[in-house]
Amino acid sequence: MIQLIYFDFAGRGEAIRDALRWGRVPFNDVRVSFAEFQAMRASGRLPYDRLPILELEDGTILAQSNTILRWAAERAGLTPGSRTDALLVEALLDSAEEYGGQLSTSIRVTDEAVRAHLRSDLAARWLPQWFGLLEQRLGAAGHGWLVGNALTVADLKVVHLVDKLVNGTLSGIPTDLLSPFPALTAWRSKVHDARRGFTQC
Ligand SMILES: N[C@@H](CCC(=O)N[C@@H](CS)C(=O)NCC(=O)O)C(=O)O
């Protein structure tokens, strides 16, 4: 059976778990501690020294969360039929890594003053910008999903990042940043409603 290896939190893993669950793709949901991750890294098992990884039935190890998510989408039947829509999904996955990468930088940094500066820049500039772009994307798509008229892995990837950004666990990031964005707020509930349909067994 395939193995998804990640930490025991949502992060870059939950959208992949969701896609596999949605498609009823059997997988081992392996959740490792930081010490286990370090041992894996030291052993050379991680192609890019980070998690998540997906170990396929033939032993191939896939890394990079978006690559794994594309694989999961294909296996789960979640890839849009239209090539244009598939590319719009790709762009959203890249965009989430781009904006999420700035969050990651603010988590990794050890200097508290630098972290505070990065967080205030995120809250004042980058997140309102990204949320505004997502609001526009929802308007263009027109059906309450980010792409087309059905759930895609773009919705799954983005919703977990948006949750992380506004759930009050990040110092310096207020929880009301979604307030100016009604379509995004409604979309968030819609994605979670859809998730409830396939994450509760
Ligand atoms: N671009 C990579 C980033 C992976 C990444 O940064 N993973 C984090 C967890 S979300 C990690 O492994 N952190 C442990 C560390 O770097 O020490 C991806 O999308 O998979």
Cβ of 79 closer than 6 Å to ligand 1, yes or no, is: no
Q: How far is CA 44 from the centre of its chain?
A: 25
Q: What is the pLDDT along the chain (201 residues), one digit of tens a residue?
A: 999 999 999 999 999 999 999 999 999 999 999 999 999 999 999 999 999 999 999 999 999 999 999 999 999 999 999 999 999 999 999 999 999 999 999 999 999 999 999 999 999 999 999 999 999 999 999 999 999 999 999 999 999 999 999 999 999 999 999 999 999 999 999 999 999 988 764
Of 76, 99, 126, which residue is a domain's last? 76
Out of 32, 51, 157, 164, give the residue to mutate to test ligand 1, the one with the largest number of ligand atoms within 8 Å of its CB: 51
Claim to verify: residue 110 and residue 195 sit in the same structural domain: yes
Out of 31, 33, 49, 50, give the residue to mutate to test ligand 1, the one with the largest number of ligand atoms within 8 Å of its CB: 50
Nearest alpha carbon to residue 66 among 161, 157, 195: 157
Claim to verify: residue 98 and residue 173 sit in the same structural domain: yes
pTM for the full predicted model: 0.96
Claim to verify: residue 52 and residue 88 sit in the same structural domain: no
- List the strands of the sheet with 27-32, edge to edge: 27-32, 2-7, 53-55, 61-63
Claim to verify: residue 182 and residue 89 sit in the same structural domain: yes
**The amino acid at 144:** G
Range of the domain at 26: 2-76
Nearest alpha carbon to residue 183 among 169, 161, 197, 162: 162
pLDDT for the residue 200 = 65
Claim to verify: residue 91 and residue 167 sit in the same structural domain: yes
Interior CA angle at 97 toward 128 and 59, to 5°?
160
Claim to verify: residue 126 and residue 68 sit in the same structural domain: no
pLDDT for the residue 198 = 83
Cβ of 64 closer than 6 Å to ligand 1, yes or no, is: yes
Claim to verify: residue 43 and residue 103 sit in the same structural domain: no
For ligand 1, the distance from its centroid to the CA atom of residue 196, given in whole angstroms, is 27
Cα–Cα distances in angstroms (integers) from residue 125 to residues 128, 130, 190, in the given order? 6, 9, 26
Cβ of 12 closer than 6 Å to ligand 1, yes or no, is: yes
Task: Tell me the residue length of the chain.
Answer: 201
Of 48, 76, 104, which residue is a domain's last? 76
Claim to verify: residue 12 and residue 37 sit in the same structural domain: yes
Give the CATH number, domain containing residue 156.
Answer: 1.20.1050.10
Claim to verify: residue 42 and residue 71 sit in the same structural domain: yes
Q: Residue 2 pairs with which residues in a beta bridge?
A: 27
